[in-house]
């Protein structure tokens, strides 16, 4: 006769169930902090910015590096992020239906340029949308 392992979720050979063990071990478990670096691509909402996080992976057959991007809605409490900033985001409790990340720090601010004639402030992202002659 084969001896059965005394693993906590092994009940019977015909019923292999992970649910009781998951409930037993994850009562106080919290997710480890996930830290990502991305670029702010939109800041039109109050206390919310859209951050695009790039990720490279190798194609399973051709082994070519492929760029994949994902957009996250991120909570920006102070409203200090602007379009083009590189930011570090970290997961947190759900703030809304799609917002589960918050800005921890701004790695690199976008450069600003001032027009000498009008005094308007431009960034590389809004210079094309203005009526500047």
Task: List domains and CATH numbers for the chain.
Answer: 35-117 (2.40.50.140)
Token representation of residue 19: 């649910």
Q: What is this structure's pTM?
A: 0.70
Radius of gyration of the chain (CA): 24
Best CA proximity match to 46, nearest among 75, 89, 83: 75
- Other CB atoms within a 10 A radius of the CB of residue 14 amount to 5
| Contact indicator for 86, 106 with CB cutoff of 8 Å | yes
14-70, pLDDT tens digit by residue? 555 544 554 555 555 677 889 999 999 999 999 999 999 999 999 999 999 999 999
């Amino acid at each position: 006769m084969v001896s059965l392992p005394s693993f906590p979720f092994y009940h019977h050979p015909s019923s292999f169930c992970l649910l009781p063990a998951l409930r037993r071990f994850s009562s106080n478990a919290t997710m480890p902090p996930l830290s990502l670096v991305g670029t702010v691509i939109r800041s039109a909402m109050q206390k919310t910015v859209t951050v695009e996080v790039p990720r490279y992976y190798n194609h399973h057959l051709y082994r070519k590096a492929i760029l994949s991007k994902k957009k996250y809605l991120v909570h920006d409490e102070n409203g200090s992020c602007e379009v083009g900033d590189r930011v570090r985001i970290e997961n947190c409790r759900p703030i809304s239906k799609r917002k589960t990340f918050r800005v921890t720090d701004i790695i690199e601010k976008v450069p600003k340029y001032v027009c000498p004639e009008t005094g308007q402030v431009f960034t590389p992202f809004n210079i094309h949308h203005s009526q500047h002659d």
